[in-house]
Amino acid sequence: MAPEMLPPGSVVGMLGGGQLGRMMALAAARLGLSVHVYCPDPDSPAFDVARAHTVAGYDDEAALAAFADRCDVVTYEFENVPARAAEVIAQRTLLRPGALALATSQDRLVEKTFLRKAGAEVAAFASIDRAADIDAAIAVTGLPAIVKTRRFGYDGKGQRKVESREALAAAVTELGGADLILEALVPFELEVSAIVVRGADGAAAVYDIGENSHADHILKQTRVPARIGAETAAAAAALGRRIADALDYVGVLGVELFVVRDDQGERLVVNEMAPRVHNSGHWTEDGAVTSQFENHVRVIAGWPIGSVATIAPTVMENLIGAEADAWAAIAADPKARLHLYGKAESRPGRKMGHVNRVGV
């Protein structure tokens, strides 16, 4: 055994107790690893499948330290882990992915700057920190454009599409007036994801590229393979790997890319990245040899990457809010593989589960 492989029985800590933590915990258990979940919410779905859990805030340094001391490695299910929490943990045990990935992905301005430096094409962007920045920003992006908060946005929250200078000025005020980014609209044909897994030794693998569709800014469906050219798919995988390398990344990384089609053919524009298992990788649970959850756990524990080969074309559909009420019909569909997250309450926009259809 390589000295850095954590043996079975080791404790994997997870910050965040939602469905991503739950699915990582299930994967860890299958490998004989023990899971400790840390989350402020006492009703966290991941608690149900973990050996231990801590209910405490991400600003509770004593609780974070005690948690870290019980874990052989700590990971997270969301990129908005406060920098100070990450620091407390990293001082006491392994934190994977590391602080650089967190810091980069928490701020859209830092992220876009990093991506460009890593050789990825991104939408034209400019920062807005005061009303006086508006004209210079429009000069960079043109109009219409999208104004976003630099931090803490997800599922379309904290962003507005604007068609005019006046609308932008209003949106800037509405979004707080500072720490904003204006992004050019990318005239994309479709959105795809590269789900990359990379180990501490630099070995990396990329799952087959998935094609995403959204409803109300929330991922609705991922289909694999994406309906793009083979060269574009290879380029998306190479780009995902390059980004992971540039971050010296350990874990699963989700990279969302726009596919732009023009008379030159297809080209890729990186939308954003997530330093964690990703909703657009849920198809791998049934459609790939090793799921993204198992591979994330494997590499943060120092284990080698499991095969990312696709078993058969797969379509993943999120069950959002009341859509999960159709569980009985889905359970009766012989093509459907149902996954439910154990959330007691269904709310509009809440991700309740997903369903994979393999070989379709």
Name the residues that contact its own copies, by CB under 8 A. Answer: 1-2, 5, 7-9, 22, 25-26, 29-35, 47-51, 289, 298, 303-304, 306-307, 311, 324, 327-328, 331-332, 334, 337-342, 344, 353, 358
Distance CA 332, CA 90 (A): 46
- Please return the burial class of 317, using the count of CB atoms within 10 Å of its CB with bins 0-12, 13-18 and 19+: buried
**Bridging pattern class, strands 94-95 and 73-76:** parallel
Annotated binding-site residue? 184: yes
Question: Least distance (Å) from its own copies to the CB of residue 328?
Answer: 4
Nearer to its own copies among residue 47 and residue 283 (C-beta): 47
Annotated binding-site residue? 148: yes
Nearer to its own copies among residue 112 and residue 354 (C-beta): 354
Distance CA 311, CA 3 (A): 32
Question: Least distance (Å) from its own copies to the CB of residue 34?
Answer: 7
Question: Least distance (Å) from its own copies to the CB of residue 151?
Answer: 32
Nearer to its own copies among residue 8 and residue 119 (C-beta): 8
Question: Least distance (Å) from its own copies to the CB of residue 337?
Answer: 8
Distances in whole angstroms, Cα of residue 329 to Cα of each of 175, 282, 348: 42, 20, 20
Distance CA 70, CA 13 (A): 8
Distance CA 163, CA 176 (A): 19
What count of residues does the chain have? 360
**Residues paired with residue 12 on neighbouring β-strands, in sequence order:** 35, 73
Nearer to its own copies among residue 311 and residue 322 (C-beta): 311
Annotated binding-site residue? 96: no
Annotated binding-site residue? 272: yes
- The backbone torsions φ and ψ at residue 19, rounded to the nearest 5 degrees and listed phi first, read -65, -30
| Token digits of residue 326 | 């159709």
64, amino acid identity: L
Question: Least distance (Å) from its own copies to the CB of residue 51?
Answer: 4
Annotated binding-site residue? 38: no
Nearer to its own copies among residue 32 and residue 349 (C-beta): 32
Dihedral sign for Cα 97, 103, 105, 106, please. Answer: positive
- Are the beta carbons of 321 and 346 closer than 8 angstroms? yes
Annotated binding-site residue? 4: no
Question: Least distance (Å) from its own copies to the CB of residue 47?
Answer: 8
Annotated binding-site residue? 224: no
Nearer to its own copies among residue 321 and residue 342 (C-beta): 342
**Binding-site sequence positions:** 108, 148, 153-159, 183-186, 191, 214, 271-272
Residue ranges at the known binding site for ATP: 108, 148, 153-159, 183-186, 191, 214, 271-272
